[in-house]
Structure 1
């Protein structure tokens, strides 16, 4: 089965503590909504200490049109993506010439030519590699992209596939959206990128093995998460019902996937590599899946240090787990939910 040869991450330059983020939100919203103070407590309960943004705080205090936001997105996404790829290849001892397929996942901006084409003009990849852009999966994109990479490597056992997840969530911020969901999103979301190198059976690589994947999309759940496209850009759709939805519907889907691989349940997993979509979502996940709290501790640490970066966040968790020294025979479940409403799962074994 394919193996994960390396994982690397990249962050933009502007670090913001949660207290600073709260102060920024107060300045942004106070001029439009005098009652904003009572909503700012969401920043205190987000379980986030700090995050990283693509632009300095004062940029977000200006009225930036969609064209400006998207121009910044392309510039920053290419910069972060290249940095993550450079680190991933250096860690694995590989070069761009060793890569057979590049998959780039994003949901926070629009680019045609797509970001993978931009990366091909910044890195010396072979001209004949395959490239696949993936757009619109939101927080589930990192796990879905990993599945695509592993399935390709399984079909072509001598190949190496590079999957890059890049998000600039902060650039989608809507300064004049006074909804509580926009304030909640501002308390959670951040920017970052991650790159994963996947190698087929005959490529001579070592690392955790991919055992399989499973996707599930629930019926009549389109309104839980996503974007509304407005004249000002991408307006967040982020339902307060998501934690309750997780409690009600997630467990049977996870059980089905684990049973396909002869695992009795989450308690059999040493590592639950969950996308930390927010404190309420992680708490709901822990209530639903009976597991050792230590199994999901890396997700809490990533949320605390980086916030929710959408698709790359779960790959930050995967990197931390891989660096922790898993024992041979350990199993790990990658899990992330996103617009659809969908859940993506990947099972790994060390």
Structure 2
């Protein structure tokens, strides 16, 4: 069968960044009119979120200004084009690929609305060929980075000798709701950050990088209420059910073991866990589950600490860390992320 390899990963952060300790005074000012206990609780959420620093497409003063959905989305669209282009150009340079050599481009984003989608702009700004196949992936949230890898792998497996790029750009900052004092808004504000990444994959016989052994999606039944956005007049309003870590824990054996078995593998054979850092609680839940199996997700925790949860982009930052390591041939890695639907997306790699 035609093999697919992950050739290169590049990341791109926006120009603004803040340490969490620098954000606390803004939180205090924002919540100064609220109940004192509530304000203290929110500050504790920020301090305990496991995020030391995050990047943003706008400066923090702008985040806390009352602007319309239209204005925030315009910033998102403008910056997404810049970040997407930089991430793609960087990846192409690292792989020594010409931009016209791409056959398939997948643009992943859920934190703003653009029609035409980001990939259409990249055709022009990066100089992609006119018969390139485009696929925008928009409503899959945090899982969409892995969704993009799955679609690319399927396309490439069916088309030998081709090249694909997955470009993910997210700005949860642009979805922050100034007048939403729900716990979902507080928790998402505490864990999310902005960023972009690009993954290059190939079905050429001489391509280098870990091989995609298999990929699969897992859909939780009757769980559409757990995570997502409500589209309101002020923008995209976060839905985040506190039951998410528990639901993941309950389904965990069904998510991991049958998938690995299907591709003649098992958890003992999987040396590397490339897991999306949804937030501190989800990281702890998965860490306990994998810890019992003698595995660690240190790279996941480190990406959360340094960048926050950048929705679909985040797992690709974790993947980049593994591509930069000196991994022995034959070792396996499992890419895993969760997102609205509710769903778990998995990709099995072999070096």
Aligned to 2:186: 183
Instruction: Give the C-alpha shift of residue 151 in structure 1.
Output: 1.0
Per mean C-alpha deviation after superposition, the further-off stretch among 131-140 and 278-287 is 278-287
Aligned to 1:20: 22
**Contact 2:10 2:320 survives alignment (8 Å):** yes
Aligned to 1:304: 305
Aligned to 1:107: 110
Aligned to 1:261: 263
Corresponding residue pairs, total: 347
Whether 1:142 and 2:138 are equivalent positions in the alignment is no
d(CA) in 1 for partners of 2:309, 2:221: 25
d(CA) in 1 for partners of 2:216, 2:323: 22
Aligned to 1:124: 127
d(CA) in 1 for partners of 2:91, 2:293: 31
Give the TM-score normalised by structure 2: 0.96
Give the TM-score normalised by structure 1: 0.97
d(CA) in 2 for partners of 1:26, 1:182: 15
d(CA) in 1 for partners of 2:232, 2:31: 19
d(CA) in 2 for partners of 1:339, 1:306: 21
d(CA) in 2 for partners of 1:278, 1:38: 17
Instruction: Give the C-alpha shift of residue 24 in structure 1.
Output: 2.1
* Structure 1: runs of 5+ lacking an equivalent: none
d(CA) in 2 for partners of 1:33, 1:326: 52
Instruction: Give the C-alpha shift of residue 101 in structure 1.
Output: 0.9
Aligned to 1:332: 333
Q: How does 1:204-283 map to 2 (within 5 A)?
A: 204-265=206-267, 267-283=268-284
| CA spacing shift, 1:312–1:46, aligned 2, 3 Å | same
**Contact 1:273 1:299 survives alignment (8 Å):** yes
d(CA) in 2 for partners of 1:348, 1:264: 13
Counterpart secondary structure, 2:311: coil
Aligned to 1:173: 176
Whether 1:53 and 2:34 are equivalent positions in the alignment is no
Per mean C-alpha deviation after superposition, the further-off stretch among 224-233 and 251-260 is 251-260
Instruction: Give the C-alpha shift of residue 293 in structure 1.
Output: 4.2
**Contact 2:274 2:318 survives alignment (8 Å):** yes
* C-alpha RMSD over aligned residues: 1.2
Instruction: Give the C-alpha shift of residue 264 in structure 1.
Output: 2.7
Aligned to 1:341: 342
**Contact 1:5 1:198 survives alignment (8 Å):** yes
d(CA) in 2 for partners of 1:33, 1:87: 47
Counterpart secondary structure, 1:30: coil
Instruction: Give the C-alpha shift of residue 22 in structure 1.
Output: 2.5
d(CA) in 2 for partners of 1:251, 1:20: 40
d(CA) in 1 for partners of 2:286, 2:209: 27
Per mean C-alpha deviation after superposition, the further-off stretch among 28-37 and 10-19 is 28-37
d(CA) in 2 for partners of 1:88, 1:57: 29
**Contact 2:271 2:332 survives alignment (8 Å):** yes
Instruction: Give the C-alpha shift of residue 251 in structure 1.
Output: 1.7
* Structure 2: runs of 5+ lacking an equivalent: none
Whether 1:38 and 2:41 are equivalent positions in the alignment is yes
Instruction: Give the C-alpha shift of residue 237 in structure 1.
Output: 0.5
Instruction: Give the C-alpha shift of residue 307 in structure 1.
Output: 0.4
Aligned to 1:162: 165
Q: How does 1:67-106 map to 2 (within 5 A)?
A: 67-106=70-109
d(CA) in 1 for partners of 2:318, 2:108: 17
